[in-house]
Amino acid sequence: MTLHEKIILITGASRGLGAAIATKCAKGGAKLIVHYGANADAAHALQKKLDDAVLGCIGEDLRKEGAGERLWAAATKLAGPIHALVNNAGINPASSLNGEITSWRQSWADNLAVNLIAPAELSRCAVADFRNQGGGTIVNIASRAGIRGDDIHHDAYAAAKGGILAHTRTLARALAGDNILCYAIAPGWINTDMAPKGGEKLKLALSEIPLGHMAEPEEIAALTAFLLSGACPSATGATFDVNGASHVR
């Protein structure tokens, strides 16, 4: 399995899962464009760590209208033809049904913008170029929540992640004949800054995982790199569950 000389755009790559995916892809020989939302220092620190595997870092707030199109344009200007896209960036602000209406609306807007609209816009741009290039690969990092739902305070997050799963399947069905492969990964809890770190919330999270621990970022990174390698094209359209058997279909 190799990613030698493949140029890959990874969103939300400055830290956590995105940084793990970037590191794994770099080890496989890929050239990377690192996207970050606000943490430029972390993105440039990753660039320094991965050295010439990173072609450059691009900042873009994916909550803003047109962010996906601007990011793709900046990435192609920087790197030329891109071979693969990893839609990893995500946010999870609460959207409590009992919350104040203005905050509730803003949470829905932000969740949909970052977790669904921006990835869809990036995919739209990628598909246009991939068709001219003879193919390409898209990996969308979704969530277990998009399949089974989430708690009542994170309805918007679950809805957005369910949307990205449907989007992935639709693209896969429509574009396989153009050699454009689309996959989704649906993790449960991952041991990153977004996960609970202690107390009752951590106990509750672990209590529903038969494996007994959260997934490590490197596990999802390894699966992402495998899918990007082209080793199993017939899996296009599939959603890969990585949740320690906490949700088995």
Residues classed as catalytic: 157
With 0-12 CB in 10 A as exposed, 13-18 as middle and 19+ as buried, what is 131? middle
Give the tokens for residue 149. Answer: 């739902």
Give how far Cα 105 sits from Cα of 26, 74, 94, 204, 213, Å: 39, 30, 11, 28, 34
Cα 66-72-74 angle, rounded to 5 deg: 100
d(CA 18, CA 23): 9
d(CA 139, CA 242): 14
Question: Closest Cα partner for 137 from 228, 12, 234, 31?
Answer: 228
